[in-house]
Amino acid sequence: MNDKRLSVLAKNLVNYSTQVKRGEKVLVESKGNETSPLVEEIVTEVAKAGGQPFWYYNNEHVERRWVQNASEQQIKDFGKMHLKLMKEMDCYISVRGADNSFTLADVPQKRMDWYRKHFYFPVHLKQRVKKTRWVVMRYPNEAMSQLAETSRESFEDFYFSVCNIDYARMSRAMDPLVKLMKKTDKVRIKSPGTDLTFSIKGIPPVKCDGHRNIPDGEVYTAPGKTSINGTIQYNTPSMYESTLFEGIRFEFKDGRIVKADCAGGNTTKLNKILNIDPGARYIGEFALGIHPNIREPMRDTLFDEKIFGSFHLTPGQCYDEAPNGNKSAIHWDLVLIQTKEYGGGEIYFDDVLIRKDGIFVHPMLKDKLSARALRSGR
């Protein structure tokens, strides 16, 4: 792709999202053969900023062969090697452009568990997330266009309208929501098939405003680990380890997922994922999605979790910035959209309605967090 919009995106990634400084080491990891044009622009901008780029090309087909055939000890050694590299880095930029989202679908669950425990958890959840300035994004290739069920040209227009939005302006618009969440104890959420209560008291809210993910557009915190009770019926499909899950439903008792099922015959695999460790059945994140240009799910978490009028409730590892004590090898963002087109719903903070059918109605929020205001930065 030869597109000036890639240059704009690269400038934002290097100068705004990761804020690369002179002399800093930047790991630029890409997956997929089509990602080269954006990687070239990123490396150019890192050089202009005085940083030292290290680029690493990954490929999901090679990754599949490796995980299918390596022993657990080999995967441990693989994780140790990548951990050493990550510890050298100040910043991390990931461009993910796999040409087949289902490449890992037939890898045995035991091997995926090894890969998650010995590679993803130590290298990414413990080191990269906690100790580097990082940003992760997808690349607008044919596979993403197919998941979104649209032409590539139309998808690229959508992609850049979402990714190249003015995140600094969006960040300012989030401030009243952060202020309100800091004062909130009890949260209640109601939607078709969903009636949940939990506490967020004492757990900091965090703005996601283009410094971690692109696209971005959410404010997150975490529920008290044992405070969730009730039922949730997610209405957004979710890809996890090359398996598409739909209609996921959880029942909670004192914070723990005591029952989990889903549509399409994947209930057994769903529960295997939730049984990987004790923390996988507790929630590590609660977030409100507010990106004004993302309105429909496309089976890609980086986009779907930002959907305007959505929220996500995440089984697994909490973030250090919003800690509730939950530890796990997984962090699985599952999304429920509450706009009228998806059944509607309400969110209450301390028994006060703050959002109805995906629209903020609280006096502190309705002007700042309307779709129009978010687009204009008003």
Give the tens place of pLDDT for each residue, 265-319.
899 999 999 999 999 999 999 999 999 999 999 888 889 999 999 999 999 999 9
Q: Using CA of residue 120, residue 126, residue 132, residue 136, what is the dihedral sign?
A: positive
The amino acid present at 61, given as its one-letter code, is H
Q: Please provide the average confidence, as pLDDT, over all residues in the chain.
A: 93
Give the tens place of pLDDT for each residue, 173-212.
999 999 999 999 999 999 999 999 999 999 999 999 998 8
Does residue 376 surpass a pLDDT of 70? no
Residue 111: predicted pLDDT: 94
Q: What is the distance between the alpha carbons of residues 91 and 133, in angstroms, rounded to a whole number?
A: 5
Residue 59: predicted pLDDT: 87
Give the tens place of pLDDT for each residue, 347-375.
999 999 999 999 999 999 998 898 888 87
SS3 321: coil
How far is C-alpha 67 from the chain's CA centre? Answer: 23
Give the tens place of pLDDT for each residue, 241-271.
888 999 999 999 999 999 999 998 899 999 9
Q: What is the distance between the alpha carbons of residues 218 and 133, in angstroms, rounded to a whole number?
A: 18
Higher pLDDT, 84 or 373: 84
Q: Which of 59, 113, 62 minimizes the C-alpha distance to 275?
A: 113
Q: What is the distance between the alpha carbons of residues 316 and 283, in angstroms, rounded to a whole number?
A: 6
Rounded to an integer, the average pLDDT of 30-40 is 91
Query: Side-chain half-sphere of 179: how many Cα atoms within 13 Å?
Result: 11
How far is C-alpha 339 from the chain's CA centre? Answer: 20
Does residue 378 surpass a pLDDT of 50? no
Count CB-CB contacts under 10 A for residue 148: 20
Per-residue buried b or exposed e for 245-259, using 16+ beta carbons within 10 Å of the residue's own CB: bebbbbebeebbbee
Cα three-residue angle 105-106-111, rounded to 5 degrees: 100
- What the chain holds in terms of domains, given with CATH numbers, is 4-163 (3.40.1830.10), 167-376 (no CATH)
Higher pLDDT, 299 or 229: 229
Q: Kindly give the interhelix angle for 4-12 and 36-48, rounded to the nearest 10 degrees.
A: 50
Residue 2: predicted pLDDT: 57
| pLDDT confidence tier of residue 377, bands split at 50, 70 and 90 | very low
Give the tens place of pLDDT for each residue, 88-147.
999 999 999 888 878 888 899 899 999 999 999 999 989 999 999 999 998 988 888 887
| pLDDT confidence tier of residue 3, bands split at 50, 70 and 90 | confident
In terms of Cβ atoms closer than 10 Å to its own Cβ (0-12, 13-18, 19+), residue 69 is exposed
Give the tens place of pLDDT for each residue, 10-19.
999 999 999 9
**84-88, 110-114, 334-338: least confident range:** 110-114
Q: What is the distance between the alpha carbons of residues 13 and 10, in angstroms, rounded to a whole number?
A: 5
Q: Which of 197, 184, 179, 347 minimizes the C-alpha distance to 283?
A: 197
| pLDDT confidence tier of residue 1, bands split at 50, 70 and 90 | low
